[in-house]
Structure 1
């Protein structure tokens, strides 16, 4: 009788180890971050308030893409940049996500990011985040400048 109990306990322990090992393997499936190639705007691009941003990038993942997000925020806080004059203007901010699920590669090209005409001129950060279907995330950061002397984005 004790032999049966001992065998039962050993069998249950062996099965537990097997199931835990399988669960860990499944969690470790896709651990590779997607690749972002941001073509436009380029680093240091000067963009004109009242125009749209020429936005172009390529996304790639080894398994499957999920979504990408563009975030733009001001960089007026003095960490190595000049402060902008703010009389009669508003700091520009943008945050939007797009779904690219079901694709391993995506070429994105649009002009839908509009810079308001009353956007405060100065230094900004443009961030692009890409998340794959497994939740791995990569990002690219660009410094851009809003200036009346900048490009209109109409390429």
Structure 2
């Protein structure tokens, strides 16, 4: 009886171990989404100038191999001449200054419907009462698995 009980437990153990599977064959998304502002309607381009009180359409193309989830637009002052590791282009900068009323715009948006390609289009009016000078405009995009990409450009807000 002890002999058959031993083989019974060994058989159960073999069944349990062999029934476990791994997801090695499952498709894993290991690719970051992409952002492109370097096309005819892409805005702003590096070193663009925008005028206080005017309305602009900030546009970028984003894509992913699987599914896009969300994107954001971040506009903030660059009066201290900081840089971003994803920055495109090199522009002439005004002298460093202390901000008195800088513009900071940060908004997040969802991308619905399982899309793999999407054109960001955000209409913004540059406020009248903000400091003029050097700013950064940054787009970022996140896919459904959490991969993120971003791109930044220098812009200048003028009177």
TM superposition score normalised by structure 2: 0.75
Tell me which residue corresponds to 2:90: none
TM-fit CA distance, 1:78: 4.1
Contact 2:79 2:98 in 1 (8 A): no
Equivalents in 1 of 2:54, 2:25: separation in Å? Answer: 49
Residues 78 and 33 (structure 1), Cα distance of their counterparts in 2 relative to 1, 3 Å cut: closer
Deviation at 1:60, TM superposition (A): 1.6
Higher helix share: 1
Q: State the number of aligned residues.
A: 140
Find the partner of 1:14 among 18, 27, 34.
Answer: 18
**1:84 matched to 2:97:** yes
What's the RMSD between the two structures over aligned residues?
2.2
Whole-angstrom distance in 1 between the partners of 2:137 and 2:144: 23
Which residue of structure 2 aligns with residue 4 of structure 1? 8
Match of 1:94 among 70, 80, 105: 105
TM normalised by structure 1 equals 0.77
- Alpha carbons 1:101, 1:133 under 8 Å: kept: no
| Distance of 2:135 and 2:103 partners within structure 1 | 8
Distance in 2, Cα, partners of 1:78 & 1:65: 32
Q: In the alignment, what sits opposite 1:31? A: 30
For structure 2, the residue ranges without an aligned partner over 5 or more in a row are: 84-92
Question: Contact 2:80–2:97 (CA<8 Å) still a contact in 1?
Answer: no
1:54 corresponding residue in structure 2: 57
| Runs of at least 5 residues in structure 1 that lack an aligned partner in the other structure | 149-155
1:50-109 per-residue CA deviation (whole Å, 9 max, x = no partner) reads 2223312212222222121101111123447532364xx510000112222222212233
> After TM superposition, where is structure 1 displaced by more than 4 Å over at least 4 residues in a row?
none
